[in-house]
Copies of this chain bind each other. A is one copy, B any other.
Amino acid sequence: MANKKYVYFFGQGKAEGSAGMKNLLGGKGANLAEMTNLEIPVPAGFTITTEVCTAYYENNQQYPEELWAQVGENLKKVEEAMGAKFGDPQKPLLVSVRSGARVSMPGMMDTVLNLGLNDETVQGVISQTRNERFAYDSYRRFINMFGDVVMGLAHGKFEKIFQAKKNELGVKLDTELDTEALNDIVAKYKALVKQETGKDYPEDPRTQLEMAIGAVFGSWNTERAITYRRLNKIPGDWGTAVNVQSMVYGNMGNDSGTGVAFTRDPATGENVFFGEYLIDAQGEDVVAGIRTPQPINIAQKKGSTLPSLEEEMPQTYKELEEIYKRLENHYTDMQDLEFTIQKGKLFLLQTRVGKRTAAAAIKIAVDMAEEGLIDKPTAVLRVEPGQLDQLLHPMIDPNTKPEVIAKGLPASPGAAVGKIVFTAEKAQEDAEKGEAVVLVRIETSPEDIGGMHAAQGILTARGGMTSHAAVVARGMGKCCVAGCGALEIHGEAGYMSVGDLKIREGDFISLNGSTGQVILGEAKLIKAELSGDFSKLMSWADELRTLKVRTNADTPEDAQVAREFGAEGIGLCRTEHMFFGEERLPIVQEMILADSKEARQKALDQLLPMQKSDFKGIFKAMKDLPVTIRLLDPPLHEFLPKGEELIVQIADLKFQLSSMASLEEIDDLLAQIKEKEYLATKVESLHEFNPMLGHRGCRLGITYPEIYNMQVQAIFEAACELTKEGYSIVPEVMIPLIGDVNEFSYIKKSAIVIAEDVMKRSGVTLKYMLGTMIEIPRAALTADAIAKEAEFFSFGTNDLTQMTFGFSRDDAGVFLPGYVEKKILSEDPFIALDQTGVGQLVQMGVEKGRSVRPDLKVGICGEHGGEPSSVEFCYRVGLNYVSCSPYRVPIARLAAAHARIKEEQA
- Where the two chains meet, the residues of A that have a C-beta atom closer than 8 Å to any C-beta of B are 643-644, 647-648, 651-652, 654-655, 658-659, 688-695, 699, 702-703, 737, 739-740, 742-743, 746, 775-778, 781-782, 785, 799, 802-808, 810-812, 814-815, 818-819, 822-825, 834, 836-838, 840-841
Offer 23 A-B interface pairs, CB within 8 angstroms, sorted by A.
A643-B644, A644-B647, A658-B659, A688-B810, A689-B810, A690-B691, A690-B693, A691-B808, A693-B812, A694-B808, A695-B814, A695-B815, A702-B818, A739-B807, A740-B824, A740-B825, A740-B837, A742-B823, A742-B825, A776-B806, A777-B777, A777-B841, A782-B836
Chain A to chain B: the 8 pairs with minimum beta-carbon distance, closest first = A651-B651, A693-B808, A690-B808, A778-B837, A694-B811, A689-B810, A742-B824, A776-B806
B658 and A689: CB pair below 8 A? no
Q: List, in ascending order, chain B residues with CB within 8 A of A836's CB.
A: 781-782, 785
Q: List, in ascending order, chain B residues with CB within 8 A of A695's CB.
A: 811, 814-815
B654 and A737: CB pair below 8 A? no
Q: List, in ascending order, chain B residues with CB within 8 A of A691's CB.
A: 689-690, 808, 811
Q: List, in ascending order, chain B residues with CB within 8 A of A823's CB.
A: 742
A814 and B689: CB pair below 8 A? no
Q: List, in ascending order, chain B residues with CB within 8 A of A699's CB.
A: 815
* Interchain CA distance A678-B810 in the complex, whole Å: 23
* Interchain CA distance A775-B825 in the complex, whole Å: 18
The residue on B at minimum CB distance from A742 is B824
* Interchain CA distance A785-B824 in the complex, whole Å: 13
Q: Which of B737, B740, B811 lies in contact with A693, CB distance below 8 A?
A: B811
The residue on B at minimum CB distance from A655 is B655
Q: Which of B643, B654, B778 lies in contact with A806, CB distance below 8 A?
A: B778
* Interchain CA distance A815-B693 in the complex, whole Å: 12
Given A647-B644, A651-B651, A695-B811: A778 in contact with B804 (beta carbons within 8 A) = yes
Q: List, in ascending order, chain B residues with CB within 8 A of A782's CB.
A: 836-837
* Interchain CA distance A695-B809 in the complex, whole Å: 11
A808 and B739: CB pair below 8 A? no
* Interchain CA distance A837-B807 in the complex, whole Å: 20
A818 and B651: CB pair below 8 A? no
Q: Which of B688, B693, B822 lies in contact with A802, CB distance below 8 A?
A: B693
A804 to chain B, nearest CB (A): 5
* Copy count, this protein chain: 2
Q: List, in ascending order, chain B residues with CB within 8 A of A692's CB.
A: 689-690, 693, 806, 808
Q: List, in ascending order, chain B residues with CB within 8 A of A702's CB.
A: 815, 818-819, 822, 824
Chain A interface SS verdict (over half): helix
The residue on B at minimum CB distance from A782 is B837
B815 and A703: CB pair below 8 A? yes
* Interchain CA distance A781-B781 in the complex, whole Å: 11
Q: List, in ascending order, chain B residues with CB within 8 A of A742's CB.
A: 823-825
Q: List, in ascending order, chain B residues with CB within 8 A of A658's CB.
A: 655, 658-659
* Interchain CA distance A775-B737 in the complex, whole Å: 21
Q: List, in ascending order, chain B residues with CB within 8 A of A814's CB.
A: 694-695, 703
Q: List, in ascending order, chain B residues with CB within 8 A of A776's CB.
A: 804-806
Q: List, in ascending order, chain B residues with CB within 8 A of A834's CB.
A: 778
Extra contacts besides A647-B648, A654-B655 (19): CB < 8 Å: A688-B811, A689-B691, A689-B692, A689-B810, A690-B690, A692-B806, A692-B808, A693-B812, A694-B814, A775-B806, A776-B805, A776-B806, A777-B777, A777-B837, A778-B805, A778-B806, A781-B804, A782-B836, A803-B806
Given A651-B647, A659-B658, A804-B778: A818 in contact with B689 (beta carbons within 8 A) = no
* Interchain CA distance A743-B806 in the complex, whole Å: 14
A696 to chain B, nearest CB (A): 9
Given A651-B651, A699-B815, A805-B776: A746 in contact with B824 (beta carbons within 8 A) = yes
Q: List, in ascending order, chain B residues with CB within 8 A of A652's CB.
A: 651
* Interchain CA distance A740-B825 in the complex, whole Å: 8
* Interchain CA distance A775-B803 in the complex, whole Å: 11
A648 to chain B, nearest CB (A): 6
Q: List, in ascending order, chain B residues with CB within 8 A of A825's CB.
A: 740, 742
Most buried by B among A690, A703, A811, A840: A690
Given A782-B836, A836-B782: A688 in contact with B651 (beta carbons within 8 A) = no
Q: List, in ascending order, chain B residues with CB within 8 A of A811's CB.
A: 688-691, 693-695
* Interchain CA distance A647-B649 in the complex, whole Å: 11
Q: List, in ascending order, chain B residues with CB within 8 A of A694's CB.
A: 808, 811-812, 814
A229 to chain B, nearest CB (A): 16
Q: List, in ascending order, chain B residues with CB within 8 A of A822's CB.
A: 702, 746
Given A648-B647, A691-B811, A806-B737: A781 in contact with B840 (beta carbons within 8 A) = yes
Most buried by B among A691, A702, A782, A806: A806
A738 to chain B, nearest CB (A): 10
Q: List, in ascending order, chain B residues with CB within 8 A of A740's CB.
A: 824-825, 837
A279 to chain B, nearest CB (A): 51
* Interchain CA distance A193-B117 in the complex, whole Å: 119
A808 and B689: CB pair below 8 A? yes
The residue on B at minimum CB distance from A693 is B808
B647 and A807: CB pair below 8 A? no
Q: List, in ascending order, chain B residues with CB within 8 A of A840's CB.
A: 781
Q: List, in ascending order, chain B residues with CB within 8 A of A647's CB.
A: 644, 647-648, 651
* Interchain CA distance A366-B303 in the complex, whole Å: 106
* Interchain CA distance A702-B739 in the complex, whole Å: 32
* Interchain CA distance A691-B806 in the complex, whole Å: 10
The residue on B at minimum CB distance from A652 is B651
The residue on B at minimum CB distance from A815 is B699
Q: List, in ascending order, chain B residues with CB within 8 A of A799's CB.
A: 806
Q: List, in ascending order, chain B residues with CB within 8 A of A804's CB.
A: 776-778, 781, 803
